[in-house]
């Protein structure tokens, strides 16, 4: 929003005559006022231009902040989905472990081979459950500031 330069710097040619001429005096006063107005106009125009630059910089900064916030929100959504996936895997492994224990307890007589197989399956499930618990805990600690991760999604699965 800049203003055109209306002052061309030219001066009116005034014919002088002997004595004081009120018309000439008025023209000189007008010329001085015009120069003063022109100087004020130039100062105002420079200030306006400076303000326009500041506004453009502020707009660019706000746009960058908006993009950063949008990226952060997308990242948090991905973290929430990953956490839910890990918690689902944990609950599935935990349920499989409980079913295996229930099955082992319901069979009073088992052979040594079966006991060894069940024991290795149990140990494997416990290892997987432990790893999943550590993964979930690490995700919660790493992204503790994310509001979507503050709720415990496994409470309803137990």
- Structural domain contains residue 104: yes
Query: What pLDDT, on the 0 to 100 scale, is given for residue 154?
Result: 47
- Structural domain contains residue 70: yes
pLDDT tens digit sequence for 7-21: 444 444 444 444 455
Query: What pLDDT, on the 0 to 100 scale, is given for residue 67?
Result: 94
Residue of 97, 93, 73, 96 lying closest to 135 (CA atoms): 93
pTM for the model: 0.43
Domain that holds residue 70: 22-149
- Structural domain contains residue 15: no
Residue of 83, 81, 92 lying closest to 138 (CA atoms): 83
- Structural domain contains residue 137: yes
pLDDT < 70: residue spans in the chain: 1-29, 107-111, 145-158
- Structural domain contains residue 157: no
């Amino acid at each position: 929003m800049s203003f055109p330069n209306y002052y061309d710097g030219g001066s009116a040619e005034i014919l002088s005559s002997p004595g004081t001429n009120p018309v000439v005096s008025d023209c000189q006063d007008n010329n001085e006022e015009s120069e003063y107005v022109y100087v004020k106009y130039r100062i105002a125009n420079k200030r306006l231009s400076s303000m326009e630059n500041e506004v453009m910089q502020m707009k660019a900064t706000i746009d960058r902040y908006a993009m950063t916030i949008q990226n952060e929100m997308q990242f948090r959504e991905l973290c929430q989905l990953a956490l839910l996936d890990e918690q689902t895997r944990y609950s599935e492994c935990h349920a499989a472990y409980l079913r295996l224990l229930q099955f082992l307890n319901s069979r009073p007589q088992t052979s040594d081979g079966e006991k060894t197989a069940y024991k290795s399956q149990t140990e494997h499930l416990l290892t997987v459950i432990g790893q999943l618990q550590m993964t979930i805990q690490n995700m919660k600690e790493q992204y503790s500031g994310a509001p979507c991760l503050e709720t415990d999604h496994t409470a309803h699965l137990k």
